[in-house]
Amino acid sequence: MSEKNIQLALFGFGCVGQGLYDVLHHSEVLQADIAKICVKDPSKKRSVDDALITFDKNTILDRKDIDVVVEMINDTDEAFNIVSRALKNKTNVVSASKKMLATYFEPLFLLQEEHGVALIYEGSAGGSIPIIRTLEEYYDNELLSSLRGILNGTTNYILSRMELEHKEYNEVLADAQREGFAEIDPWLDVSGADTLYKVCLLAVHAFGVILKPEEVLHLGIQQVSFNDIRYAREKNLRIKLIASAAKTENGYRVFVMPRFVRADDELYKVMYEYNGIEVEGAFSCKQTFTGKGAGSHPTGSAVLSDISALTYQYRYGYKKLKKLKKQLGDAYSTTPLLETDFAIRVYVRYENQDQLSLLDIRHVVEEYRSPSMNFIIADVGFQSLYVLKDNAQNTLFVCAID
Ligand code: HSE
């Protein structure tokens, strides 16, 4: 691949695709040409030469002169079809589709092994932060105990502007969409689902575990109000949507939910569309990585870096995953890796007392009732929080607290 310019086939030309197009044209080192861009909608006007555009994926997937398929589309199943077909054709792939990667992780891992090809996806988590390669390479021998982070730019942007500018939730969500931070379906952002896919991917590289995204709890920020933000400010706290993944004696505690973060926490300072990831290892102790987590150019730059890595034959070694698979043998696919039987301290703002009966409340630490707001702080059985997941009727705001 090194003597001639590498030939790229792009699938999708939305926010990330256009970002990649721009950063690629500013790159002074990478010798790459876009051979074709495959898009879905013929009626959309695009800012590139029409000759580059095709609507037929087969015309590029069958081309022998394509070195790298760059997949950046929104349709999860179609993305999986394209990526798996490219891998079967022994074409290296760069992808930024976190939902597709997390949903189909196991078959994609097996395809890479079977066909000896690379699928790399730095742009799928943490935006511009080089976290996947860091977990994979730098921490390849380190016993990581936990990983926590703000992995969604849209929700961090919404919470930051609500707090600092007193802007309404819907107004700032619309701004996040305009800025190109939000997903086409912003429910993915605000419900915590996007964060969940990202933390599932990071868990593979941090601990070697493949989690089923549908089994991991995600609670979002849809119900956050100025009352909650005011409560946080009075206590010198900030509300952040946090992904947590920790290794315990019994497995892995992995979940996504809002959390009141203390002012001495590194993640407290991570604002607007920035992401922050704190990794803790037995010997390295805590390290925090921050950077722009969403937006066309930051994500495009992560994709560009992956394309560049392929020019020196980079691929993930999946050392931790392979080690765990070997250790557990057949039990790898049947052993429940997720630990859900524990209590967690949460703040729950509610409208009427009946709503609290949904939760397995084990110990109430504080209770507050007034005409404008009611909340309790209590230790609750973690499993009971699953009733709130994906529940559009849910009007409780649940936020983890120390
Ligand atoms: N919608 C995502 C976010 C884009 O806001 O973080 C980057 O993955």
What's the gap in Å between 98 CA and the centre of ligand 1? 10
Q: 6-129+297-329 has which fold?
A: Rossmann fold (3.40.50)
**Nearest CA, atom 1, ligand 1:** 182
Q: Which atom of ligand 1 is nearest to the CA of 183?
A: 1
Class of the CATH-defined domain 134-291+333-400: alpha beta
The domain locations on the chain are 6-129+297-329, 134-291+333-400
Region 283-300: what's the mean pLDDT? Answer: 96
Pocket test for ligand 1, best of 97, 132, 160, 183 (most atoms within 8 A of CB): 183
pLDDT for 381-397, tens place per residue?
999 999 998 776 778 99
**Nearest CA, atom 8, ligand 1:** 294
Residue type at position 72 = M
Report the DSSP beta bridge partners of residue 350: 374
What's the gap in Å between 246 CA and the centre of ligand 1? 23
Give this prediction's pTM.
0.97
Pocket test for ligand 1, best of 129, 161, 181, 200 (most atoms within 8 A of CB): 181
Q: Which atom of ligand 1 is nearest to the CA of 124?
A: 8
What's the gap in Å between 265 CA and the centre of ligand 1? 22
pLDDT for 122-180, tens place per residue?
999 999 999 999 999 999 888 799 999 999 999 999 999 999 999 999 999 999 999 99
What's the gap in Å between 218 CA and the centre of ligand 1? 16
* Euclidean distance between the first and the last CA atom of the chain, given in angstroms as a whole number: 52
CA distance 271 to 170: 18
What's the gap in Å between 327 CA and the centre of ligand 1? 35
Q: Which residues line ligand 1 (CB under 6 A)?
A: 127, 152-154, 181-183, 189, 194, 293-294, 299
Q: Which atom of ligand 1 is nearest to the CA of 151?
A: 6
Q: Tell me, what's the pLDDT at 391?
A: 73
Q: Which residues participate in catalysis according to the annotation? A: 198
Pocket test for ligand 1, best of 122, 150, 152, 161 (most atoms within 8 A of CB): 152
- The whole-chain average pLDDT of the chain stands at 95
**Nearest CA, atom 7, ligand 1:** 294
Checking if the pLDDT of 15 tops 90, the result is: yes
pLDDT for 331-352, tens place per residue?
888 777 899 999 999 999 999 9
Pocket test for ligand 1, best of 99, 121, 194, 299 (most atoms within 8 A of CB): 194
Checking if the pLDDT of 1 tops 60, the result is: no
What's the gap in Å between 275 CA and the centre of ligand 1? 10
Q: Which atom of ligand 1 is nearest to the CA of 152?
A: 6
How many other CB atoms are there within 10 angstroms of residue 355's CB atom? 16
pLDDT for 213-225, tens place per residue?
999 999 999 999 9
| Residues 6+ positions from 351 with CB-CB distance below 8 Å | 374, 395
Q: Which atom of ligand 1 is nearest to the CA of 182?
A: 1
Checking if the pLDDT of 14 tops 80, the result is: yes
pLDDT for 92-137, tens place per residue?
999 999 999 999 999 999 999 999 999 999 999 999 999 999 999 9
Task: Sort strands 119-120 and 237-248 into parallel, antiparallel or unpaired.
Answer: unpaired
CB-count burial class (<10 Å; 0-12, 13-18, 19+) for 386:
middle
